[in-house]
Amino acid sequence: MARVLMPDDVENGFIPTDYSFNLVANEIRHRLDGQPGVFSVIQIGSTKRGDSNCVSDADVVVVYSGMRGSTFYILKRLCNYASSLAVPLEFIPLDHTFATQGAHFWTPSFTLHVKWAEENGGLICGQSITDDITPRIERKNEGLDYAISKLQKILKKMTLLLVMNEKERFGLFTEVVQVPMFLARKVVWDAGVKLSLDSKAKVVDAYLKVVSAEEAALFKELGKLSAYYRALVESRPEAEYYRAKIEEKIGEAGLEKLVRYLEVTIKNILWRME
């Protein structure tokens, strides 16, 4: 998912590329293939689908059986390696026993997300896992839970904007370019839409067909902010110009739009559930 980069990194061109994403994937395969305790390693998200860009990160599921300290050390070293290439790498660990007994945090839509990745070449090494995963809980409205949780967290953090340092502020601004797509996937899942692949384009198309006109309009507004942000990063502006534009376009104004979007989404989901 997208994230808001720091000004100096953008000015210096310290941003990920397709080449650096591939280097990281190859290093993960080299270091984890055959590693004792590692059952399955699956690359998910935009870097696997092929719709990643310079503001994307790399998400990798690691299903383990008896994870050893040496394996955790390798994961930490891999994150450090990825960081040296400007690639934000996030591992999502899951114990194989817990996976097959339902004692995990994966929602049904996230499990399907991983399954799609696995079926479309995302299995970096190890064995297939998604058919073995037992549902965590009885299916519920993931979109509503996610929207309520995000709204509460964002409103709380917005009250701290004046005392945040720049890294903290930019971390909060990331919500503006990240939350809408996360929420769209969950809303599409809750609506029972069957997708052949969860590419961003397919998710957006399906999402716009199942939500209200007001939700769709706000989603599109936030989408324009994300597109503006990507174009800004790709232009590699000087740090001060980039900093000013992020504060102006993505900052508090973007957060206010996001809050409105979440509020409208919650209201409409509740209405649809009646």
pLDDT in tens, 199-234: 888 999 999 999 999 999 999 999 999 999 999 999
pLDDT in tens, 142-179: 899 899 989 989 998 988 888 889 999 999 999 999 99
Stretch 15-34: mean pLDDT, rounded? 92
pLDDT in tens, 60-110: 998 888 666 678 788 888 999 999 999 988 888 887 877 777 666 677 778
Predicted pLDDT of residue 30? 94
Q: Strand 123-126 vs strand 38-44: parallel, antiparallel, or unpaired?
A: antiparallel
Stretch 244-268: mean pLDDT, rounded? 93
Predicted pLDDT of residue 32? 92
Predicted pLDDT of residue 210? 95
Predicted pLDDT of residue 260? 93
Predicted pLDDT of residue 67? 62
The one-letter code for the residue type at 83 is S
- pLDDT > 90 in the chain, percent: 44
The one-letter code for the residue type at 25 is A
Q: Strand 89-95 vs strand 58-64: parallel, antiparallel, or unpaired?
A: parallel
**CA 184, 190, 191, 195: dihedral to nearest 10 degrees?**
70
Q: What is the 3-state secondary structure (H, E, C) of 166-182?
A: HHHHHHHHHHHHHHHHH
What are 266-273's contacts with CB under 8 Å, separation 24+?
266/144, 266/147, 266/148, 266/151, 268/211, 268/212, 268/214, 268/215, 269/141, 269/143, 269/144, 269/147, 269/187, 269/190, 270/144, 273/141, 273/144
Contact yes or no for 246/254 (Cβ under 8 A): no
Q: What is the third-level CATH fold of 10-132?
A: Beta Polymerase; domain 2 (3.30.460)
Please give the Cα distance from 83 to 75 (Å, whole number): 12
Predicted pLDDT of residue 136? 59
pLDDT in tens, 30-74: 999 988 889 899 998 887 777 777 888 888 998 888 666 678 788
Angular region, 39: left φ>0, alpha ψ -120 to 50, beta rest: alpha
Q: Phi, psi at residue 90, to the nearest 5°? A: -125, 120
- Sheet containing 123-126: which strands, arranged edge to edge? 89-95, 58-64, 38-44, 123-126
Contact yes or no for 190/240 (Cβ under 8 A): no
Contact yes or no for 242/166 (Cβ under 8 A): no
DSSP bridge pairs for 95: 64
Q: Phi, psi at residue 7, to the nearest 5°? A: -55, -45
Q: What is the DSSP string of 135-176?
A: PSSS---HHHHHHHHHHHHHHHHHTTGGG--HHHHHHHHHHH
Predicted pLDDT of residue 54? 81
Predicted pLDDT of residue 139? 52
Predicted pLDDT of residue 226? 93
The model's confidence at residue 23, banded by pLDDT at 50, 70 and 90, is very high
Confidence check: pLDDT of 15 > 70: yes
Please give the Cα distance from 171 to 163 (Å, whole number): 14
Domain range annotation of the chain: 10-132, 140-273
Predicted pLDDT of residue 70? 79
Residue 48 is given by DSSP the state H
Q: Which pTM value belongs to this model?
A: 0.75
